[in-house]
Structure 1
């Protein structure tokens, strides 16, 4: 069975060996990110997901913030591996920051009180779908990426640096770039352990 969507999903991997030699323009990457998030589903079509796309000095600045933040809390004797990992993200071409807008979530909680406790859960599902959509779309365009979670440690510094709304809650960071080295073979648990099918 041939399915181009499934093939695109299979092409999405965590790529840590990145460089800046991408073949797409910044405008083309911007369009991919926008379209992927715009067409990702959310409960009640609430569209809670937000994104910030960083290129050039802004991309480097983010990973400098991460490095400085972690240097202050990670013991010096253990920092070399952390520094190396951050350098691999900085070596990429750009970063997508994923946020959820808490003001929108609160508005839906007020308007639909019966489901109030579910909207934060549905928001997390929405951001997960948006992140996956962007990741697959980038992979389908030949761009490697990985998903990182330095929030909430860097939240305040990120909001201050790029003057972002207080209601935007940082959920993940996705460094991306040219695939400098292919990842190893991916291992999967047995289908019998994950799935139940009743016919």
Structure 2
């Protein structure tokens, strides 16, 4: 087995610091669809999970399939949002649809249930740990794609779109949708990022 090439911590931290939420996107990809798929698949392989259970699942939607997802989201939301309140919701959905692709993040409930049965002492923690792994995957892909010059924003239109998604893309019943990462070209700068003081959220002992 080859030894991994050393990477300085600051290089990783710089990528994390440069990650931002880009709401204004367009359909101009800075890298190929093939490269995006490679990044997603490599992240799927390498992101950790409890007991190496690997519960994460992903579907990537490009072009017309991406548009279809946001059309389905609009179809569902129009049944629950009153017409007089529709305008802000419609604008948000149009903003997401303006992007080039959507990455759907799922967790395999069969895997979670199997791990709970295998390790009953941790049964109540398995769903939490699966979500933590999925969150790491979302963030890893987000950072990696932004490092390639793309913009992205993370959305959560589950569970209201779940049944439509399952029907349209033949999603296994044991896959539970957790989040949607919208990606595309950067059509406008991100908003200002603010921070609460370190003193309010960090403590150290013994240093």
In the alignment, structure 2 segments of 5+ residues that lack a partner are 1-7
Is 1:164 matched up with 2:171? yes
1:7 matched residue in structure 2: 14
Kept after mapping to 1: 8 A contact 2:30/2:148:
no
Q: 1:116 aligns with which of 102, 117, 123?
A: 123
Residue 37 of structure 1 deviates from its aligned partner by 2.2
Alignment map for 1:150-189 (pairs within 5 Å): 150-189=157-196
Any residues of structure 2 matched to 1:80-119 within 5 Å, and which?
Answer: 80-119=87-126
Contact 1:37/1:133 (8 A) holds in 2: no
Aligned to 1:144: 151
Match of 2:40 among 30, 33, 37: 33
Give the Cα–Cα distance (whole angstroms) in 2 for the partners of residues 35 and 180 of structure 1. Answer: 27
CA distance in structure 1 between the partners assigned to 2:14 and 2:112 by the alignment: 34
Give the structure-1-normalised TM-score.
0.97
> What is the aligned-residue RMSD (CA, Å)?
1.2
Q: How many residues align?
A: 199
- The alignment partner of 2:125 has SS state of helix
**Runs of 4+ in structure 1 over 4 Å off:** none
Residue 84 (structure 2) pairs with residue 50 (structure 1): no
Secondary structure in 2 matching 1:188: coil
Contact 2:21 2:191 (8 Å CA) reproduced: no
Are positions 1:65 and 2:72 aligned together?
A: yes
User: Once the two structures are superposed, what CA deviation does each residue of 1:14-62 show, in whole Å capped at 9, x if it has no partner?
Assistant: 1100001112111011111111222111000110000000001110000
Match of 1:20 in 2: 27
